[in-house]
Amino acid sequence: MPHNLNLSIMIEIKDLHKSYQMGSNSLHVLKGINFNVNEGELVSIMGSSGSGKSTLLNILGMLDEADSGSYFLDNIPIKNLNEKIAARYRNKFLGFIFQSFNLINYKNALDNVAMPLYYQGIKRKERTDKALHYLEKVGLADWATHLPNELSGGQKQRVAIARALASEPKVLLADEPTGALDTKTSYEVMDLIQGINDEGKTILIVTHEEDIAHMTKRIVNLKDGLIIDDGIVEQVRANSYV
């Protein structure tokens, strides 16, 4: 498989710290995280709630900033970002998949997928073509003109995945992508994510579900702000359940 070859390091994190001020108390959430992700990996980050896994993902997603430590994304240092640069990096390098889908509810599936392209300054015609292509990829071409509230949970998440792919990012970041879905739909979504990974896309998934984690190729376990376990696992193919 291509990701087993000597590929470039996509994410490189060294000694990452993050605390939150909670009134007069300081809550130390990340206490020195070191970890690398190679291009083409499919990694799950696990941990109980409060372990810091979402904070880590937010920092990776440039939605939040670390207090100290370094973060390189495809050899680009991610630090001291102002809003403008952060927005451009997010748009160029990252695709987000959220637990609650976060589609814009007054825009139809196609327009939702096309939105990152709008912020890339791509013309309407090309936007529509590309968006339709990615909707096809997630199997929802026939639903292009439907509004999010006319779609099922699984369909919404697939629109969100298409949207994350549309900007052709280097990394997909998924925060509990199956958290709002039933088991069967979860596996369908994981099947889609595995397919995308098979094509070489680097994907990070935050989850607390064991079965979802085992559908990735590597599990990173977080506890109290530290990585306690990081290992390659035998990937379970989601389609074997369906």
User: Which residues are at the interface with other proteins (CB under 8 A)?
Assistant: 58, 61, 63-64, 83-84, 87-88, 90-92, 96, 98-100, 102-104, 106-107, 111, 115-116, 118-121, 123-124, 163, 167
Smallest gap from residue 221 Cβ to other proteins (A): 23
In whole angstroms, how close is the CB of 27 to other proteins at the nearest point? 16
Q: Residue 3 or residue 107: which is nearer to other proteins going by CB?
A: 107
Count other Cβ atoms within 10 Å, centred on residue 86: 15
E strand or H helix at 228, and its extent?
A: strand 226-232
Task: Give least dist CB 207 to other proteins, A.
Answer: 16
Coil vs helix vs strand at 56: helix
Q: Residue 212 belongs to what H/E stretch?
A: helix 210-213
Pick 79 or 88: Cβ nearer other proteins: 88
Min CB(161)–other proteins separation in Å: 13
Question: Quick one: 4 or 100, whose CB is closer to other proteins?
Answer: 100
Shortest reach from residue 116's CB to other proteins, in Å: 4
- The residue (of 99 and 186) whose beta carbon lies closer to other proteins is 99
Distances (CA, A) of 136 to 85, 143, 145, 173: 31, 10, 13, 21
> CB of 99: closest distance to other proteins in angstroms?
7
39 vs 111 by CB, closer to other proteins:
111
Closest distance between other proteins and the C-beta of residue 82, in Å?
9
CA 226 – CA 223 distance, rounded (Å): 5
Of 229, 99, 90, give the one whose Cα is nearest residue 175.
99
Nearer to other proteins, 70 or 100 (CB): 100
Question: Among residues 92 and 146, whose Cβ is nearest to other proteins?
Answer: 92
Q: 3-class DSSP state for residue 114? A: helix
Residue 235 DSSP label: P
> Hey, what are 18's tokens?
């993050």
- Judged by DSSP in three states, 35 sits in strand
Type of residue found at 163 = R
Is the separation of the CB atoms in 128 and 111 below 8 Å?
no
